[in-house]
Amino acid sequence: MLKAKNSLGLILFPAFDWRISPTHPEREERLLYTIDQIEEEGLFDYENIKIYNPEMIESKYIEMTHFCIPAISSIVTVSHKIAAGSAITIAKKVLSKEVEKGFALIRPPGHHAHRITYGDRGFCIINNEAIMVEYLRKEYKIKKIAIIDTDCHHGDGTQDIFWNDKDVLFISLHQDGTTLYPGTGFTDEMGGPSAIGYTLNLPLPPYTSDEGFLYCLDNLIIPVLEEFKPDIIINSAGQDNHYSDPLTNMNFSAQGYAKLTEKLSPNISVLEGGYSIESALPYVNLGIIFAFAGIDYSNIKEPDYNPERLKQSQRTTDYIKRLCEHVYSIWKSKEEREYNIKMANQDYYVRKKSIYYDTMGFRENQLEKIKICKKCSGLILIDSLCLGYRVLAIVIPHDACNDCENEGHKLFENTEVGDYSHILLQDKKSFEFFRKPL
């Protein structure tokens, strides 16, 4: 039988019997041609490429990542639970060393799902990678995690969840938010008061090609990863940077994706977006799988691949060079910036946020307060208004000091239900979730 250089675990779960609506881009047909291509390529026959069926996620891990409003049962569908479960399954296989690397090709995606979630944003309801991170911390005691989001859209949900978490380095490469949904992900979004510089955004101009992406990898992402020294690297592998993607305007190719995967060498990749289901996904996914497994991918090119036509402009090249320098300077000056922010905000660091649910057409307004604490990353309090609900969400971070932990529990106990529809407490330190009214 055939053997690949590296052992690789795959979850191929196209959910052929699930869709949002008949013409929605995130639909049953999405992974059909990819599965065809993989089957025709004989990937199931490599003795060290293993295919696993996903498991269903336990609600506990959703609760420890999200505040689902009004409740998990009313907004999270079976397919979302399987997609998040897939991330857990593949993590188990990699962490138990059954395989060296893992790639979950699943749908629906998850990276637009914020900490508080009222439903579908950009086809996401719960955040597959974020849930995986909570699982890895709880079950495998993994401390330092890097999430590299290579989807064409800004990974705003993942950014939100790990905003004030120094142990999770989040880097997102995406098409500039002035030209694409969700309209965020600028370089000045760099993390909360205790984790400044641990969120890094690289907004790229439209029509950036392989060259630009790989430049960011070589000149920013890899150097930062070398300094951060994560215990595990997770790739939110969106494939909508492809030149044929109908929702975006980038010029990335299957060769580019394969090279990116080879250079980044993540431990685990989880599929995010990618809607050019026929012209891109079969080739991009195959390229990524080959790169992961260490199989020669030089013969994987889209039928209409033409690198000349995809070349980026000199202006783009120059811009990306300056962008990488700028973002690297943020990373380098993170301690100084943290000091300044903490000096300027003595008690609480306060942010007002407005989050638009594009697929459902409503808006959420949030007031987020992060406690400035010398001993830990600080208690988080969020007051959220949406769809007639008013939510008080309290997060005790996993590194919480005793004071912050006690304060969180006291606040939960002493706050009267009154105007609130939900009072919720996520105690990440003791891995417990509490709600009022019961």
Partner 1 sequence: MIIGLDVGGTTIDTVAIENGKVVAFKKFERGRSLIDSALESLNQFISKEMISNLERITLSTTVTTNAIVQNNLDKVGMIIENGIGANPEFLMCGDMNFFADGYINNRGIEINPVNIESVKSALQSFKQEGIENLGIVGKFSVRNPQHELSVFKAAKEYNFKFVSVGYKLSGKLNFPRRVFSTYLNCAVYSTFNMFYKSILTFSQERKIPLEKIFIQKPDGGIVNLQNIESFPIFSILSGPAASAQGGFVLSNFAKNAIIIDIGGTTTDIAFLSNGNLVLEPYGAKIGKYPTLVRAIYSRSVGLGAESIVKIVDDTVKIGPETKRWYEKGKNEFITFYDVLQFSNSCHESPINAGLKSLSSQLNMSQENFCKLVISRAVSMIEEKIKEGIEYINNLPVYTINKLLYGEKFAPQKIILIGGPAELLKPHLENELKIKVEVPKHYMVANAIGCAIGSISKEYNLVADTIQGKMVIPELNIYQSIPADFTIDQAKKVLIEKVLECREAKNQDDVEIVDESSFNMIRSFKFCGRMIRIKAQLKPKLLNLRD
For residues 385 to 424, the per-residue mask of contacts with Zn ion, x marking binding by CB under 5 A and - elsewhere, is ----------------x--x--------------------
Nearer to Zn ion, 240 or 368 (CB): 240
Tell me which of partner 1, Zn ion, none is bound by residue 246, counting a contact when its beta carbon lies within the kind-specific cut-off of 5 to 8 angstroms: partner 1
Q: In the annotation, is 114 catalytic?
A: no
In the complex, least distance from residue 297 CB atom to partner 1, rounded to whole angstroms:
8
Which residues in this chain contact partner 1 in the complex, by CB under 8 A? 1-2, 12-18, 22-23, 25, 27-29, 32-33, 35-37, 39-42, 44-45, 51-54, 56, 78-79, 82, 246, 278, 282-283, 286, 290, 295-296, 298-303
Residues in the chain: 438
CB atoms within 10 A of CB 367: 13
Name residue, tokens 């909360």.
192
Distance between CA atoms of residues 219 and 103, nearest Å: 25
**Residue 336: contacted member of partner 1, Zn ion, none (CB under 5 to 8 Å, by partner type):** none
CB of 261 to partner 1, least distance (A): 16
Q: Count Cβ atoms within 10 A of the Cβ of residue 374 and give its class: 0-12 exposed, 13-18 middle, 19 or more buried.
A: exposed
Nearer to partner 1, 265 or 279 (CB): 279
- Report the nearest approach of partner 1 to the CB of residue 245 (Å): 12
Question: From CA 108, how far away is CA 151, in angstroms rounded?
Answer: 14
**R_g of the chain, CA atoms, integer Å:** 21
Q: Which one of Zn ion, partner 1, none interacts with residue 68, CB within 5 to 8 A by kind?
A: none
47 binds, among Zn ion, partner 1, none (CB under 5 to 8 A by kind): none
Cβ atoms of 301 and 185 closer than 8 Å: no
Pick the catalytic residue from 111, 112, 153, 154: 112
Query: Which residues, numbered 342-381, are part of the site for Zn ion (CB under 5 A)?
Result: 373, 375-376
Report the phi/psi class of residue 222: left, alpha or beta, with left for phi > 0 and alpha for psi in -120 to 50. Answer: alpha
DSSP, residue by residue, 351-405: EEEEEEETTTTEEEEEEEEEE--SSSS--EEEEEEETTEEEEEEEE-TT--HHHH
Return the number of the residue (290 or 357) whose C-beta is nearest partner 1.
290
Which of Zn ion, partner 1, none interacts with 205 (beta carbon under 5 to 8 A by kind)? none
Q: Which residue is nearest to Zn ion (CB)?
A: 273
Report the C-alpha gap between 318 and 321 in whole angstroms. Answer: 5
Measured between alpha carbons, how far is 330 from 352 in angstroms, rounded to an integer? 23
The yes or no reply on residue 151 touching Zn ion (CB under 5 A) is yes
Rounded Cα–Cα distance for residues 238 and 185 (Å): 15
Indicate which residues carry an active-site annotation: 112
Interacting residue ranges for Zn ion, rule: CB under 5 A: 151-153, 238, 240, 273, 373, 375-376, 401, 404
